Amino acid sequence: MSVLVYVEQAEGKFKKSVFEAVSYAKAIADQQSTNLTAISIGDVAESELKELGKYGAAKVLNVSADQLKTFVNQAYASVIAAAAEKDGADIIVLSNSFSGKGLAPRIAVKLKAGLADGAVELPSTDGKFSIKKTAFSGKAFAITELTSTNKVIALNPNAFGVKENATEITIENFAADIKQSDLGTVIKEIVRATDKVSLPDAELVVSAGRGLKGPENWGMIEELAGLLGAATACSKPVSDADWRPHSEHVGQTGIAISPNLYIAIGISGAIQHLAGVSSSKVIVVINKDPEAPFFKVADYGIVGDAFEVVPKLIEALKAHKG
């Protein structure tokens, strides 16, 4: 019995959410008095693999087959399930990223395992292996018990944090047996905006709504986000009107996020919007309507016109950063 963590790479690098998953998996391995093994698939340099040792992985299985250089969930799931069997792992941890969401369910079926996705805390130690996960789009949590022998956990970004736990790490090449039938999806193109912070795992988010009056007014939102190193987001009416792309829509029918800081500008705070952002650690609301429902769930608020407040905020932030 051991714990296996899948470490997703993007262009040969691991993101913070991966180190969070390793930190989380290490804590589970400690709970279970067992070892943590990581599995990496694709081209990752030895120096980057060794980084995993900082967070407690004792071993990393390195899979670098040509057919697996880019993500194919079907093949990746086969490789991870095979590694779990070979390594005797009964708990598989991965990040609840876009790719993780397409991968974890396939691993779960292969291993006849219960899957807790959107996990936000460590499993209980009462012998029941219950995990707190988000439900009802942020309006509640479900404490879900994994009753199967094998277990798969997909950890939400920004929920557990990165915890250093330096361990001597060994790198082992893992020869994967790849079935041609597992390679049915072929990647034609990957488009990544490198100059922007990705929203799902952003620590700081600046979001704006209909109060901005039109897409031409987003310059100050982007400037504020840029100064903070924050991702930009928006409310549903804004993406519905095509002022901003759908990928920026947070809320019940958009994406749910839990950044350290969420700044909502010109968003009234309908229940569907609040559902997607209520697990943010600190919420700042800027709205000219003092009766806006968003103020009820905010930590800090400014009642004022966004077109006056935001430029002042930008100046104050510039002064703060010196």
Partner 1 sequence: MKILVCISNVPDTTTKITFTNDNTEFNTAGVQYIVNPYDEIALSRAIELTEGGKGTVTVINVGEAANDPTVRKALAIGADDAVRVNAAPRDAYFVAKQIAEYAKDKDFDMILTGRESIDYNGNQVAAMVGEFLDIPSVSIIKKLDYDGSSATIEREIEGGKEVVTVSGKFVASCAEGVAEPKIPTMRGIMSARTKPLNVVEAVAIEEVTKVAKYETPAPRGSVKLVPADQVESLIGLLHSEAKVI
Give, as ranges, the residues between 236 and 255 that touch partner 1 (CB under 8 A): 239, 246-247, 249, 252-254
Give the binding range for partner 1 (CB under 8 A) out of 23-31, 46-54, 68-76, 209-217.
Answer: 68-76
Q: What are phi and psi of 102, to 5 degrees?
A: -90, -10
CA trace torsion 294, 141, 23, 282 (10° rounding): 10
Run of H or E including 171: strand 170-173
Nearer to partner 1, 169 or 255 (CB): 255
| Neighbouring C-alpha atoms within 13 Å toward the C-beta of 295 | 11
CB of 268 closer than 8 Å to CB of 209: yes
Nearer to partner 1, 166 or 321 (CB): 321
Q: Which of residues 104-143 bind partner 1 (CB under 8 A)?
A: 104-106, 108-110, 112-118, 128, 130, 132, 134-143
Integer-rounded Cα Rg, in Å, for the chain is 21
Q: Which of 101, 162, 171, 210 binds partner 1 (CB under 8 A)?
A: 101
Kindly state the smallest distance separating residue 317's Cβ from partner 1, in Å: 6
Binding residues with partner 1: total (CB under 8 A) = 102
Does 29 engage in binding with partner 1 (CB under 8 A)? no
Q: 62-70: long-range contacts at Cβ-Cβ below 8 A with a sequence spacing of 24 or more? A: 62/171, 62/172, 62/173, 62/174, 63/39, 63/173, 63/174, 63/175, 63/176, 64/173, 65/176, 65/178, 67/178, 67/183, 68/41, 68/42, 68/176, 68/178, 69/42, 69/43, 70/42, 70/187, 70/190
Nearer to partner 1, 166 or 319 (CB): 319
Does 86 engage in binding with partner 1 (CB under 8 A)? no
Kindly state the smallest distance separating residue 51's Cβ from partner 1, in Å: 19
Q: Which of 7, 21, 82, 313 binds partner 1 (CB under 8 A)?
A: 313
Q: Which of residues 167-226 bind partner 1 (CB under 8 A)?
A: 181, 184-194, 196-201, 204
Does 26 engage in binding with partner 1 (CB under 8 A)? no
Does 9 engage in binding with partner 1 (CB under 8 A)? no
